[in-house]
Structures are given as C-alpha cells and as structure tokens.
Amino acid sequence: MKMKKRLSFLAVPAGLLLSAGAHAQSSVTLYGIIDTGIAYVHNAQSSNGQNQSTLIKFASGNISGSRWGLKGTEDLGGGLAAIFQLENGFNVGTGALGQGGREFGRKAVVGLTGNGWGTVTLGRQYDPIVDLVQGLTEDNYFGGVFGTPGDLDNYDNSLRVNNSVKYVSPIFAGFQVEALYGLGGVAGANGSGRTYSFGGAYANGPLSLGAGYFYANGGNTATAGLRTWTSSSDSLFNTVINSGFASAKSIQIAKVGGQYVIGPVTAGLTYSNTQYGSDAFSTFRDTAKFNNGSVFFNYQFTPAVRAGVGYNYTSLTGPASAHYNQVNLGADYAVSKRTDLYALFGYQKASGNTLNSSGTVVSADASIGDFGVNSGANSQDVAVVGIRHRF
C-alpha cells in the first residue's frame, strides 16, 4: 500500500527472458524507497528494564518501510499475463535485512492476471485487510507512529502471510473483493498454522470504504508447555501492548474504515476488533479482546505541504483491563516529486492492567503506534524528523 511512485528501470525484450520463438513482451521494473530520520523518545525503557530514560536514535522506515524490489509482467496473449514481485526490506542505519532477516521479507509472489476475471498470486504477501483498509487510515499518509498501540491489529502492516494464495477481483462499479488462504503445511492437521482472510472495498468520488476479516492459527509447537507461534502468518506480538498474549492459539481481526475527501481536506475513521484466543498452551485463559477506534484529519496547504492530526483509542478486556489514548501530529514537505521531508509527533497515555510475557497481571505501559519502543511507564512521547526518497 505504501508503494506509491515507481520509476521503470528497464524493459527486457521477450527473447532474453523466454525461449526462442516466443513472441510475448516482458518488462521488469526496479523500484524502492529509502526512509530514515532521527527520533527523540521520552520514556524509553532502559536496558535493565527498571528505569525510564530519554532515547535519541537513528530511525529507519518512519513513514514508509525502506525497501527495494523487482516487479515484472509477461504478456501471454488473449488478455492474460504472468506477473511477479520480489520486495526486500532493510534498515537504512545498519544495512541489515528486515522482516526477520528474510531476503524478500516484504513480498515474494508470482501469479496470473487477466482482463475481466482478476488476479491470482502465490507466495508471501499481504492480506486483504492491508490491501483494502490500510490505505484509508492515517498510516497511509504518516506511517506507523500514528498506528494502533503496538500495532496489535496490524494497522501498520507488521505481518505478511507465507505459503499463501490470494485472489483479487477487478473493480466493478467501484466495488472490489479479495480473498487469501495461507497453508499451515502440517501433516494430519490441515488447520494447524493456517491463515485465511477476505475483504471488500467501495470507492465513489470523494468517498472510499473498506472492510475485512483476518484469522490466523498459531500452530501446535510448544516450548516448556507454552505455544511458540508457528503459523503461515507472521505474529503481531512485538511490544508490551500485547506481548503477554504471544502464546495465543489464534489471532482474529475484523476491521472497517472509510475516508472522505473535500478539496484540500481528507478525513477518515477506522474501527477494529482484535481477539487473541487461548487454549492449554497459552499463559492466559480468557480471550483477550482489543477494540480500537481511530480518526484523522489532513489538510493539503499547497501541492507540496500536507499536515495531519490523529487520535487513537484502544481498550483491552478479557484476562485484564487496560485503556490507551494516543494523539499524533504529522507534517510533510515535498522537495520534489520523489523526495520529501517530514516531522512526526506522538503522545500516548496508558491506564489499567495487562499481562506480561509470563502471564502475570502488571500495570499497562505505553508504546506509541508501531514505533516499537517500550516505555516502562504509563506515558510516552515520540518526535521524529526525517527524509524519504523514492526511486
């Protein structure tokens, strides 16, 4: 969803890619985004976990995940084409691979697309909620600092689905639908580790709407009696917001969102219900339910200058009760069509109790959006300035 502008790198004649005698035309495009900046965090948990400190850090991928990729198409005739996409994520500050060290951790797919019937892709890819709802949120404009606390509902696209098959329909009268299934690959237990998701979207003039459902089974692998997530889906348990539910049997996410554009104004609203199910291999017994609502307002002052404000409220019920209030500000200045400068700010206040990784009830700590820094306190501030370049 964040790959907005791409520059064609080269067009390869079909004879270089296909066997002699083939007449179809093929093309390959190289594209990428480099996004990095300097972040200030007030209330960052110290290495000993006992104190709160001020943190100044080099931060990669603040609005858009830094990446490079290849995508291509081969015309098979009759309105049918073969397609592929390989996308690598990386940390600008260190050069390290992202997404757990995967070579093409952001995306790796191959498939077919046809006029009139849609597209089918196989590989590691995004689920329909990401495709159809994420673009209607403030994350699409200002990144993960605006995301749901801890990205507990995949607001900022923390997860992809491995070993998956996805269908994307054409757009009919403004409507589009998608469906995905990720194979668990466990002999004798087809449901173990499986993922499935579906969604729909509608766009008409200034109004855009999207909704979807996502389910992932965590698998049956256990260490010392507790589940180790072994799903076709990546996990979401990245911060203190939801790390206490990392032994969950399953993740379920239902999400709806919409936005409306009036001249220079863009306003949006999103709601999600996320549930972490439990069983005998979990540290908790009651289903953990997170309800989240977010609103945003953007104003395009000039073709080059955009600013936005957002509010995010999250509540936890089930094995514990916690509340998170988060406000955000963002500004972006386009130096050129491919380069922009930005400034981001977020503040979050947590209250109530949650679970830690051992299942013990503890006071809820703040962790802004998908920035990934635990506070060790019930509040946190983050400020980021940076630069983004697309190629």
| Averaged pLDDT for residues 210-225 | 95
- Asked if residue 341 has pLDDT above 90, the reply is yes
Rounded CA separation 111/107 (Å): 13
- In this predicted structure, what is the pLDDT of residue 19? 38
Euclidean distance between CA atoms 312 and 238, whole angstroms: 19
Residue 11 has pLDDT above 80, yes or no: no
Instruction: Report CA torsion sign: 292, 214, 113, 67.
Output: positive
Domain residue ranges in the chain = 14-390
Q: Give CA–CA dist 25/73, Å, rounded.
A: 8
Q: Provide the pLDDT confidence category of residue 50 given band limits of 50, 70 and 90.
A: low
Q: What is the residue whose two structure tokens read 């606390």? A: 149
Mean model confidence pLDDT for the chain:
92
Residue 10's Cβ-count burial label (10 Å; 0-12, 13-18, 19+) is: exposed
- Short-list 198, 84, 70, 199, CA closest to 136: 199
Residue 46: what pLDDT? 78
How confident is the model over 250-283, as pLDDT tens digits? 999 999 999 999 999 999 999 999 999 999 999 9
Q: What CATH number is given for 14-390 in this structure?
A: 2.40.160.10
Collapsed DSSP state (helix, strand, coil) of residue 250: strand
Task: Please answer whether residues 238 and 372 qualify as being in contact, where contact means their C-beta atoms are separated by less than 8 angstroms.
Answer: yes
pLDDT in tens, 67-89: 999 999 999 999 999 999 999 99
Give the CA distances from residue 60 to residues 53, 66, 167, 360, in Å, rounded to whole numbers and listed in that order.
21, 7, 32, 33
DSSP per-residue codes, 145-157: GGSSGGGTT-TT-
Q: Report the percent of the chain where pLDDT is more than 90.
A: 88
pLDDT class of 2 with cuts at 50, 70, 90: very low
Q: How confident is the model at residue 9 (pLDDT cuts 50, 70, 90)?
A: very low
- Give the model's confidence band at 49: pLDDT under 50 very low, under 70 low, under 90 confident, else very high: low
Per-residue pLDDT averaged across 48-60, rounded?
84
The confidence score (pLDDT) of residue 348 equals 98
Q: Tell which wins on pLDDT, 194 or 358.
A: 194
